[in-house]
Structure 1
Amino acid sequence: MKPATGLSHQCKFSQQVGFTLIELVVTLLVIAVIAVTAAARFQDNTGYTEYTLQQRLISSLRHMQYRAMQDDRAGFCYQLVFQNGSSPAFGPSTSNYSAGQESSSCSLSIALRAPDYLQANSAEISGESVTMATREGRGQITFMGFTNLGRPLTNNFNCLSGCEVTFTGADTASVCVEREGFIYAC
């Protein structure tokens, strides 16, 4: 019998949809390699502590620099104090810059109640087996403040030849301050 005119034959072929076994195995292998590599990096913070401290110090120094440039009241010191040696730390001498607090702002001790984002205590630094060294010319820096123009003031030479704070552990990260007030990771 002849098929009726105008009717077409429909194909009974169906297309397969999905992934082949080889594609699934390759995808799983790629994910496993990435997971092993990433897990090893997340389990160990070696080398990260130094760079974290570097970025915190840059942020703290810039914060103090901006405050000094915005407040031109006489007698106030916008500075970070550095404790070198066996219990390294840095932080501001006060967090209270209200009238009558001029002398506490110029103190050479780190404020106990200073905000965490402005300081790093000795447990954070030496607890991670990191050392901190400050240098200006040939001497150590015990504090670094800023003028209302943003230029650094230190106990030595006001960063005439540049100031440097170095964090050393598994890796080394430094912060440099130029005499004009430029603060950067070096």
Structure 2
Amino acid sequence: MASLSKPYPQHSGFTLIELVITLILIAILAVTVAPKFFRGGFAEASLQAQLLSRLQLVQTQAMNHYQDCFFLAIETNRYYSGRIDSANTCISAADLLEPVVFSDIQVSQGRVYFDGLGRVRLAESSLCSAFPCVINLAGQESRQIIIESEGYIHAP
């Protein structure tokens, strides 16, 4: 019986080319992704995302309920928004609302009210005097939230 030998012995492991390509891909990812995790400004980015989300919620509530109850108020170290309780009563007093507290970040202060179409009511909004309405956040880095005249809320 003839022995069945394989022409090449079986090797386990990676070739040098495979290792070099893998290291190059890891280096490219490290150079592009790492600065996003290790730079300052995480607190500003987090607060910006929170305010953006709360503004969109208040805007949606104002569009659904057509009441003056819905607003976003920003103070020196906290923000809160008006709401309706279970008895369909408007709660807008600051001491009855649940604030979200932040620190070490300077934020534009005032209130933003929306109309039934989702646009900022400039006459009642102390945070916005003209369009586009800009909310500035300043800490280790500066960020903004912009509300356009037709109600589009975004962060550049």
With the length of structure 2 as denominator, give the TM-score of the two structures. Answer: 0.71
**How far apart, in 2, do the equivalents of 1:64 and 1:167 lie?**
19
Matched residue of 1:15: which SS? coil
1:166 aligns with 2:132: no
Q: 1:167 to 1:109 in 2, by over 3 A?
A: farther
Native 8 Å contact 1:54 1:174 kept in 2: yes
Question: How many corresponding residue pairs?
Answer: 153
Does structure 1 retain, via aligned residues, the 8 Å contact 2:52–2:145? Answer: yes
Q: List alignment gaps of at least 5 residues for structure 2.
A: none
| 1:95-174 aligned within 5 A | 96=85, 98-99=87-88, 101-102=89-90, 104-105=91-92, 107-108=93-94, 111-112=97-98, 120-122=100-102, 126=103, 129-132=104-107, 134=108, 141-153=109-121, 154-156=124-126, 159-174=129-144
- Which of 66, 69, 75 is the equivalent residue of 1:77? 69
| 2:42 alignment counterpart | 48
Identity %: 21
How big is each residue's C-alpha offset from its partner over 1:51-76, in whole Å with a ceiling of 9 and x where there is no partner?
12111111111111111111135xx4
Distance 1:50 1:13 in 2: 63
Deviation of 1:39 (Å): 8.0
Alignment of 1:51-70 (within 5 A): 51-70=45-64
Following TM superposition, by how much is the alpha carbon of 1:173 offset from its aligned partner in structure 2, in angstroms? 1.2
Please, which moves more after superposition, 11-20 or 48-57?
Answer: 11-20
CA shift, 1:89, in A, is 1.5
TM-score, normalising length from structure 1? 0.61
Q: Secondary structure of the equivalent of 1:152?
A: coil
Gaps of 5+ in 1: 1-6, 113-118, 135-140
Contact 2:131 2:147 in 1 (8 A): no
CA RMSD of aligned residues (A): 3.8
Question: Larger radius of gyration, structure 1 or 2?
Answer: 1
- In structure 2, C-alpha distance between the alignment counterparts of 1:30 and 1:59, rounded to whole Å: 38
1:89 is matched with which residue? 78
Aligned equivalents of 2:30, 2:117: Cα separation in 1: 51
Distance 1:71 1:27 in 2: 58
